Amino acid sequence: MSGETADVYLSRARLLIDLGHWTDAVEELTFARALAPEDADILALSALVSAHEGRAGEAAEFAAAATDAAPGHDEAIITRAWVLASSDNRAGAVAFAEELLRDFATSAYATLVATALFSVFGGGQLALDAAWEAVRLAPADPDAHWLLARIAAPMGLAQVVEEGVFHARQLPPFPGRRAGVWKLWWDRFGGVESASAGSRTGGSRADGGRGARDGAAGDGGWPAGRGGDGWGGILKVAAVVFAVGLLLAWLAAR
């Protein structure tokens, strides 16, 4: 290990991850933790890499250490939520969501992360209350409206779903919400972009989203399965565009 700082190792690890070299980032983060063992950013990124490499137990330890080192730290919170959700740890995810609501009741970000966890694992009235609170705390946040719709769907609240999807599609995304851990989250569990293009009168399912939750992709934007990454729909669209292009080229050549 040279005389470089923890921040240098952290920056290098982030660059390696951006380039897709997750395994190479492990060594950089090991050096970074040796220099700054309680740095929340380093611990959170270590958790993310461990989760990606399939070391769920290690990822959970790093994620918990990150939130312990810096309670309320944005990156630590969403990373711990991602580690719990991506490992399908329902009990841990719901407990962490409840902890966020209890300890950071006035934080729009923490409330949103709790709502995101509930949108994956359910939570009944508590989840719905959290979703409404997220919208109240950050009415201009499209993701808050989207998650409200996601939670309301299996509860059969069609009007809430309709309004939530509508507002989610109208508002611009908050900075950073389509990159990093949040991008991983939306890619796996479905984000605003997966909602139907319907308006107030056409953006929800008649069954409130229950059918989509049971496995089929629905108009409310539910992914085909908890682990779905949304590529199926993208590939279908690409196939259609390609076919149309071939047809136009054939017509032009006639």
- The ranges assigned to domains in the chain are 1-88, 89-254
Element (H, E) at 171: none
pLDDT for 9 beyond 80: yes
Q: Average pLDDT of the chain?
A: 82
Average pLDDT over residues 218-236: 34
Predicted TM-score (pTM) of the model is 0.76
Span between the terminal Cα atoms of the chain, in Å: 67
The Cα 134–Cα 121 span in angstroms is 17
Name the token pair of 12: 């290098």
Buried b (16+ CB within 10 A) or exposed e, 21-40: eeeebbebbebbbebbeebb
pLDDT for 167 beyond 90: yes
The Cα 114–Cα 116 span in angstroms is 5
Kindly indicate the confidence band of residue 182, based on its pLDDT and cuts at 50, 70 and 90: very high
The Cα 217–Cα 8 span in angstroms is 43
Buried b (16+ CB within 10 A) or exposed e, 121-130: bebeeebbeb
Average pLDDT over residues 95-103: 98
Q: Are 47 and 78 in contact (CB under 8 A)?
A: no
pLDDT of 203 reads 35
Any residues with CB less than 8 A from the CB of 74 and at least 6 apart, and which?
Answer: 109
Kindly indicate the confidence band of residue 154, based on its pLDDT and cuts at 50, 70 and 90: very high
pLDDT for 151 beyond 60: yes
pLDDT for 76 beyond 50: yes
Which residue type does 132 have? W
Among 38-52, 152-166, 199-213, whose mean pLDDT is lowest?
A: 199-213
Q: Are 151 and 133 in contact (CB under 8 A)?
A: no
pLDDT of 196 reads 55
Kindly indicate the confidence band of residue 194, based on its pLDDT and cuts at 50, 70 and 90: confident
Cβ neighbour number for residue 222 with a 10 Å cutoff: 28
How much of the chain exceeds pLDDT 90, in percent? 73
> For the chain, how many residues are written?
254
Under CATH, to which class is 89-254 assigned? Answer: mainly alpha
Task: Check if 1-88 and 89-254 are the same fold.
Answer: yes
Of residues 30 and 249, the one with the higher pLDDT is 30
Q: Are 85 and 62 in contact (CB under 8 A)?
A: no
pLDDT for 177 beyond 90: yes
Name the token pair of 1: 């290990």
Q: Are 195 and 222 in contact (CB under 8 A)?
A: no
Average pLDDT over residues 29-37: 98
Average pLDDT over residues 200-212: 34
pLDDT for 195 beyond 80: no
Of residues 194 and 7, the one with the higher pLDDT is 7
**227: exposed, middle or buried (C-beta count within 10 Å: 0-12, 13-18, 19+)?**
exposed
pLDDT for 55 beyond 70: yes
Pick the CATH number of 1-88 from 3.30.70.80, 1.25.40.10, 3.20.20.300, 2.40.50.100: 1.25.40.10
Average pLDDT over residues 57-74: 98
